[in-house]
A = this chain, B = another copy of it.
Amino acid sequence: MSNALQFPTRMLMGPGPSDVHPRVLAAMARPTIGHLDPVFVAMMDEIKDLLRFAFQTKNAMTFPVSGPGSVGMEACFANLLEPGDTAIVCANGVFGGRMKENVERCGAAAVMVTDDWGKPVDPNKAEAAIKANPGAKLLAFVHAETSAGVKSDAAALCGLAANAGMMSVVDAVTSLGGISVAVDNWGADAVYSGTQKCLSCPPGLSPVTFSPRAVDTVKTRKTKVQSWFLDLSLVAAYWAGEGARTYHHTAPVNALFALHEALIMLHEEGLENAWARHAAMHQQLAAGLERFGLTLPVAAPDRLPQLNLVSIPEGIDDAKTRRRLLDEFGLEIGGGLGAFAGKAWRIGLMGQSATRRHVLTCVAALADVLQR
């Protein structure tokens, strides 16, 4: 059975996963150790510190949830919301819509603030919704909408929520490590991310951070969190330091080896350097694509450097083109979702995939495939 499958080496320039550095792959392949091993517990502490660095926060409650980004999203809503609560959800792409699903499955009501795909969340609309719903518990939005390649103004949106006495929930899945995620400066209350984007780790973990106010909200709930696995009061005890630690689940040891190494690499590079690299590669990619007539539908100031929407030229077959890039060059780029399905590609420049080699290869390969 194993003989049939030939595992390829790709160049990952889709919406995630991104290319993983050999150091991180090697870390992931270390012999598995127990999740109660003193070395493992020491690594957990380092991971928490490194995540605080990446999130630019002092939040004590900062750790990776043992599941992909969607689970991090669910952890935020399931812990902060109770039946009967109201949440204001800003949607300008797939992931805002997923937030609504999460809110409603917690028994809460979602008041939607919608913007077109490809546009950032409009803070004026968010402000109006906050004024119209003074009893809402939180405002939720996506900092970097992976489906639309758009950045929203997290500082402004968190500020609006805080001014109204509401909490803020921020999706930073695609932003963390690629652009600034300034949790403490923003005053954000619950922020979740993923490992397979700008952290350049294999998918499977979701770093989260909760402000003291968010932690208090969880502690003073009237009802139990509907998910045992995601109940912060239990998970936090598992991620507490040695001595205080209580068994909850068995942590994904090797995935955490990888995250630990990827975070060390981010720390070695420095946040500002990583952001500058993403920005520079984005400029080079945009220039290269525009040189042979491709256009980027998102307005320049709203673009995510790490996730570039590119309009598919008239008469070009979307799926066939992507398949040729994969088959002929081992190059993966992403298709469009929702409003952009069949209309735009998504070209990721995330983490280890944000290099000049990636940019030039992608431009050259795309030019080649489109011209033949």
Contacts and interface: CB of A to CB of B under 8 A. Distances in A.
A137 B10 CA distance: 48
Contacts of A102: 228
Nearest to A327: B38
Contacts of A247: 337
Nearest to A204: B252
Interface in A18-60: 19-20, 25-26, 28-39, 42-43, 46, 49-50
Interface stretch (A65-73, A150-158, A280-288, A358-366): A65-73
A101 B225 CA distance: 11
Given A16-B250, A228-B101, A264-B2, A37 B326 contact: yes
B34 A14 contact: yes
A297 interface: no
A208 B14 CA distance: 29
Nearest to A256: B204
Interface residues of A, number: 77
A228 B50 CA distance: 29
Interface string A93-108: 0000010011011100
Nearest to A333: B34
Given A31-B20, A39-B7, A226 B105 contact: yes
Contacts of A337: 247
Contacts of A67: 66-67, 71, 229
Interface string A262-285: 001001000000000000000000
A327 B276 CA distance: 45
Nearest to A70: B249
A255 B204 contact: yes
Interface of A: 1-2, 4-10, 12, 14, 16-17, 19-20, 25-26, 28-39, 42-43, 46, 49-50, 66-71, 74, 78, 98, 101-102, 104-106, 194, 196, 202-204, 224-229, 247-255, 257-258, 260-261, 264, 267, 326, 332, 337
6 smallest CB-CB distances across A and B, nearest first, come from A204-B252, A29-B29, A202-B254, A70-B249, A203-B250, A67-B67
